A and B are shown apart, each in its own frame.
Chain A
Amino acid sequence: MSAQEPLLEVSGLDVFYGRGSARKQAIFDATFSIAPGEVVGLIGETGSGKSTLARTILGLIKPDNGVIRFEGADLATLGHRQRQLFRRSGAVQYVFQDPLRSLDPDFTLEESIAEPLLSSGAHSRAEVATKVREYFRQVRLDEGLLSRLPGQVSGGQRQRAAIARALISEPRLLILDEPVSALDSANRVQILELLQNLASPSVSLLFISHDLGSVAGITDRVVVLYRGRIVEIDTTDAIVNDPIHPYTQLLVGSAPILGSGPSDRAWRDDIRSRLGAD
């Protein structure tokens, strides 16, 4: 895998928020890459900069420093028109955390899923309708739900529809921002299974989560983000069994199902105090 040209390459990325005295750095010198077909987990607690990093890759936030290369081309320097064309190509797609907010409440699921193809104007309506049904089946949704509005289906079905919408433009990189954190545990398992089946040599996944337990089962590698800094990158096995950075140790120790390390409170408090001293 390492011999391959990376699909996404992020290097030396700095992102700042605010202006003047309120200016605050959100991402510090982030460097990582994703190979074609690889499933990478981006793990960190709330406020660690996971979503900021994802939004910077998507071009929604302009980085202050650094390079974002996708298949060799620098995304950070694209102009407005070039960026629109790149987005229209569907090469990178994004799945939001809460599908109730990311799907237009007045669009039926069919209209929402078809939108990426229809807005580009490059496909006929009949072609789009066939494709919508194809991807609807792929995410294991019943065709009877096509004419429903997002508010009329369950949380799990909504998230499947949101994934189908992302998949319909046949992306090479799918970024999923906490796709299961708004779901109950039964739906969570089903969505994770679905995502596991999605991973193929042609699609890479960047799976963002605060919960190592929910991504460890499907990721090849894990990037650990702490207070805007990437503190550890390694294979999932190595991260789970032999975490090096204290924060990663804390993450692994806090996950009840993975609890190979000590998980008593005194140990966690000790790690927290060591992290605070950084």
Chain B
Amino acid sequence: MLSRLVRLPSTWISFGIILFIVLLGFFGPLLAPHDPLAGGGTLLAPPTFAHPFGTDYLGRDVFSRILAGAPVSVLSALEVAGIALVAGAIPGLLSVYLGRAFEWLTLRLVDTLIALPFLVFAVAMTALLGNGISQAMLSVGILLAPMFYRVARASAMSVIASQYVESAVLSGSSTAWVLRRHVWPKVVAPIGIALANAAGAGLVIVASLTFLGIGVQPPAPTWGGMLASDLGYLDYQPYAPLFPIVLIVLTVWALNLAADVLRDVSGESGRILLKRRALRRAKKRAVRRPVPIPRES
């Protein structure tokens, strides 16, 4: 699968952008040229050399705030995806093996979680556990877990019911062997796709929550929070919301593209897709370099 992955340009584009955003999440605050919390400059100043993205309504440097807001926005989205993965995929895989009682219990739990509306649950959790970023992440992660549960369970079930697993069992293969050699390679691709989707969804939800003032308290900068405050000054700085918006959209787009790439190259369909692409390319080459028509002698 890896060799198929590196042949696609979309892989390099999507994973390149994701890597850039993740690095921004880790090192963004260190690169900020100004103190993101220090006001006192010109209010709502247009972009200048000293302030590349201008200043906000308190005179704070927007560029520094974007960089300083990256960890909360990006890493928390990854954290959401991680929590959802652990809380969803592992019970999903186990539900296929651990008997009917566990299966029934987890399925009902998942149905309940699916029925809860996202933002209402997050607001209720912060009301219960206090307003903090980790509480908000936990609630969002738990709410995304059903997606992983279903994806992991569905793909494990289809593999377990297959004849090649039965064939392996008949030749005396242990459960560990079947899981490692047959189930895991087929489950990892759909889980990877769900992970990329969840990180994208997580980023939007974290941005929405911070936009509503849940999770992170002002004056700490976040992309969603900046977007919310920028909207109040559209008359003076109509371009200001673009900075956080472009970053949010770019990250979500890259994550969705990565999910698409993973889906395209995984399994049988991936092989067919790549073969079709190779065929198309070969045809194009053939058109570009027409076969010389032999002259009649």
Residues in A lying within 8 Å of B, measured CB to CB: 58, 60, 84-90, 93-94, 96, 98, 101-107, 112, 115-116, 119-120, 149, 151, 165, 169
Contact = CB atoms under 8 A, between A and B. Distances in A.
B164 interface: yes
B173 A119 contact: yes
A106 B185 contact: yes
B163 interface: yes
B267 interface: yes
B19 to A, nearest CB: 28
B173 to A, nearest CB: 4
A119 B164 contact: no
B172 A96 contact: no
Given A119-B177, A151-B268, A102 B167 contact: yes
B171 A119 contact: yes
B163 A98 contact: yes
B174 interface: yes
Given A104-B182, A105-B268, A106-B267, A120 B172 contact: yes
Nearest to B168: A115
Nearest to B186: A106
Given A90-B171, A101-B164, 14 more contacts: A60-B166, A87-B169, A87-B172, A88-B171, A96-B163, A101-B163, A102-B163, A103-B164, A106-B185, A112-B164, A116-B172, A119-B172, A119-B181, A120-B172
B286 interface: no
A115 B180 CA distance: 13
Contacts of A116: 171-173
Contacts of B297: none
A102 B182 CA distance: 12
B3 interface: no
B48 interface: no
Interface string B153-168: 0000000001110111
17 contacts: A86-B172, A87-B170, A87-B171, A88-B172, A90-B171, A93-B171, A94-B170, A101-B162, A103-B164, A103-B167, A104-B168, A104-B181, A105-B268, A106-B186, A115-B168, A115-B181, A116-B171
The 8 closest A-B pairs by CB, nearest first: A88-B172, A116-B171, A87-B172, A119-B173, A104-B164, A102-B163, A101-B163, A119-B177
A94 B173 contact: no
Interface string B271-283: 1000000000000
B204 to A, nearest CB: 34
Contacts of A107: 164
Given A84-B172, A90-B172, A120-B172, A96 B167 contact: yes
Interface in B135-165: 162-164
Nearest to A120: B172
Given A106-B186, A106-B267, A151-B268, A119 B174 contact: yes
